[in-house]
């Protein structure tokens, strides 16, 4: 690579791409995506995909490579978010009141027959 600023792109791409890894790893391990908004995920994934295309068309390896890696990191976050929705849709919902789930409240309120 000759000095045309591409090295700055390599360093910037490496730093910003590596910045995603701790969040992706934490999210994949915990399966907790409640704090990740759909709007952010969709806009960020779309924007990174467009940067990836841009890097390809202008012939910038640093822009292209950084955004390929970031794009797949975002796909991992989307996958965890979607699989969490499927799991929560399949699981029964329990209402919680005063620290007790609804099934415990029902059991507490049922009168036992006298013997």
- Quick one: pLDDT at residue 8? 87
Q: What is the pTM of this model?
A: 0.65
- Quick one: pLDDT at residue 32? 83
**Residue that has been written with the tokens 């591409």 in this structure:** 6
Q: What is the mean pLDDT of the chain?
A: 80
Indicate whether 115 belongs to any domain: no
Report the CATH number that the domain containing residue 29 is assigned in CATH: 1.20.1280.290
Q: What is the pLDDT of residues 37-76, one digit of tens each?
A: 899 899 999 999 999 999 999 998 889 999 999 999 999 8
Tell me the residue range of the domain where 29 lies. Answer: 6-109
How large a percentage of the chain has pLDDT more than 70? 70
Indicate whether 48 belongs to any domain: yes
Residue 108 has pLDDT above 60, yes or no: no
Indicate whether 1 belongs to any domain: no
* Counted domains in the chain: 1
């Amino acid at each position: 690579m000759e000095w045309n600023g591409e090295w700055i792109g390599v360093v910037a791409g490496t730093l910003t791409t590596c910045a995603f890894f701790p969040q992706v790893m934490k999210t994949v391990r915990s399966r907790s995506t409640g704090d990740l908004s759909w709007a952010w995920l969709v806009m960020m994934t779309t924007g990174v995909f467009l940067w990836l295309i841009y890097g390809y068309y202008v012939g910038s390896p640093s822009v292209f490579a950084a955004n390929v890696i970031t794009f797949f990191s975002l796909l991992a976050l989307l996958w965890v978010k979607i699989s969490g929705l499927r799991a929560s849709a399949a699981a029964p919902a329990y209402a919680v009141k005063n620290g007790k789930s609804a099934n415990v409240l029902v059991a507490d309120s049922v009168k036992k027959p006298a013997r």
